[in-house]
Amino acid sequence: MAEQFVNTAQTVDFDSEPSSYRHWELAVDPPVATLTMQVDPAGGLRDDYELKLNSYDLAVDIELYDAVQRLRFEHPEVRAVVLTSGQDKVFCAGANIQMLAGSSHHHKVNFCKFTNETRNSIEDATANSGQVWIAAVNGTAAGGGYELALACDEIILVDDRASAVSLPEVPLLGVLPGTGGLTRVVDKRHVRRDLADVFATRAEGVKGRQAIEWGLVDVVVPRSRFDEMVRERALMRAGAATSDRPGEERGIVLGVLERSEGDDVLRYEHLDVRLDRALGAAFFTIEAPVGPQPATAAEMVEAGASFWPLAACRELDDAVLRLRFNEPELGTWVFETVGAAAGVLACDDVLREHQEHWLGREIRLYWARTLRRLELSSRSLVTLVRPGSCFVGTLAELALVADRSFMLDGTFDDGAVPAPYLQLTDVNDGWYPMSNGLSQLESRFLGHPEALVAVRSRLGKELLAADAAELGLVTFTPDGIDFADEVRVTLEERASFSPDALTAMEANYRFAGPETMQTKLFGRLSAWQNWVFQRPNAVGPKGALRSFGTGSRPSYDRARV
């Protein structure tokens, strides 16, 4: 029987800022910030469910993502972030079950993907930004609530004989923990496999001392000393020598993005996205910076969110998220660039020279996260390199990330604009690691070390089509006569294939080499969850998601497949 769901086709907007938060409270007391989850039950994305017991939906997580970004860019003085709950005896009940039961398959999968990426950004802040996250679990943390705590570097659980941590999805809902719980329990917290099995099938979870013994939390504290212990731990972690975040330097303000929208276009200051619904494609055009760029760290901070690398990255991030949720039938994303290559290289130079500066580091980390989001977006990626392009340095990553790339060999008939070139630099050899921990170049030439050596010998050189093809950096190099036709045939062919098959094929090809926690989250776990979310055992009329809270037991097809 077909899945029944509430229409979730409304436009999703990712604009947010602290004064408009309905679900979070952010308090900064340097060197510690406290982010308190206080979910408004009536503040969900839709009105057919209530967000009780600090359960969450996409609206809650959009605010969380915004808070994570602002803590990194607006508060360099913050070295530790305490994540806690404003509700008595409840930390977080996880993803709202009625929301999941009533959402389309498309929305459920993208919701889980976005929440995973947000939790990855928390871990990235701890690992790379000197801003450690601590979960102060002051009540029961169930399902996605415990997964939220798992994203933190340290978990402090109140010991009150009632509060527990749990992953009840398998026994209660017939689905998997959707935001990385299974993977983080064994890969991050190194919980023994048999104990992890018991934990994930015990709906009531684990409390107190046993949670410590199994490795599910780090500290348990009586309620009478809980706040005191959390503060002590936060100050200790904030004072650690591993954090180099400046105590006195001011942050930068992430203002609201300037964006205009039409039926078939999104326009930002540095990015245009044209939507071709007949072809099932979206065409992204990123414009290189114009005019002089900051040369010193002070000038970079002064420029703030208008500094081209940060501004362009924010725009690309926003566009990717909006198209993911709002334009699911545009299955192919085509990337083009325009403008002067010198401006892009100049911005890269500033980031290179000030890579140890907190803001320079944050911008590079943000580009890495955004490029990974692009790779994980379940879209076919195509890049067009033609006269007037500026695929150099950071923007050259968009040529390397593509499933297919077309580079014009020579010029078009009038020859008014010179032949295009690629220019790779050290930026492309490690600045922006993929989910597998490798650079795009290392993944591209996996098992071919001689090819990687050859490319590295040409870093900094302007590579025309013949050079790029010889080095294996582009897929096809048609001439001016054939370029448009070859691109058209590819896009039409892509639109004719099964989107499901393409998504699976691309996910298998993109992340060759070592398996990491992220490749497990977005490959193994997401693939299985994608499947489980379509099975009658979960979403059928008698499935677990449909039956939850009704008083009736789910009816399962007992066949293992």
Neighbours of 192 (CB within 10 A): 13
Q: Amino acid letter at 12?
A: V
Of the candidates 95, 151, 311, 419, the residue annotated as catalytic is 95
**CA distance from start to end of the chain:** 18
d(Cα 88, Cα 53) in Å, to the nearest integer?
10
String of DSSP letters for 87-120 = BTEEEE-EE-HHHHHHS-HHHHHHHHHHHHHHHH
Clarify whether 147 is annotated catalytic: yes
d(Cα 35, Cα 230) in Å, to the nearest integer?
13
**Cα 180-538-207 angle, rounded to 5 deg:** 50
Q: Which two tokens stand for residue 341?
A: 């290559």
Of the candidates 63, 74, 77, 147, the residue annotated as catalytic is 147
Sequence-distant (6+) residues with CB within 8 A of 247 are 30, 31, 77
* φ, ψ at 283 (rounded to 5°): -110, 110
CB 436 within 8 A of CB 405: no
d(Cα 35, Cα 52) in Å, to the nearest integer?
19
Measured CA distances, 514 to 186, 434, 437, 506 (Å): 17, 11, 8, 17
The number of C-alpha atoms within 13 Å of 208 and in the hemisphere containing its C-beta is 7
Neighbours of 506 (CB within 10 A): 17
**Measuring CA to CA, which residue among 151, 165, 147, 153 is closest to residue 213?**
165
d(Cα 334, Cα 285) in Å, to the nearest integer?
8
User: Which residues in 139-200 belong to E strands, given as ranges?
Assistant: 139-142, 154-159, 164-166
**Helix spans in 248-357 (H):** 297-303, 308-326, 341-353
d(Cα 123, Cα 148) in Å, to the nearest integer?
11
Q: Which two tokens stand for residue 47?
A: 């009105």
Clarify whether 144 is annotated catalytic: yes
Residue 267: exposure state from Cβ atoms within 10 A (0-12, 13-18, ≥19)? middle
Of the candidates 117, 169, 327, 336, the residue annotated as catalytic is 169
Measured CA distances, 550 to 56, 94, 97, 547, 558 (Å): 20, 19, 12, 6, 22
* φ, ψ at 190 (rounded to 5°): 55, 40
Peptide bond into 541 cis (omega under 30): no
Ramachandran category for residue 348: left, alpha or beta (phi over 0 → left; psi -120 to 50 → alpha): alpha
Q: Amino acid letter at 107?
A: H
d(Cα 96, Cα 475) in Å, to the nearest integer?
44
Helix (H) or strand (E) holding 453: helix 449-456
Q: Which residues are catalytic?
A: 95, 144, 147, 169
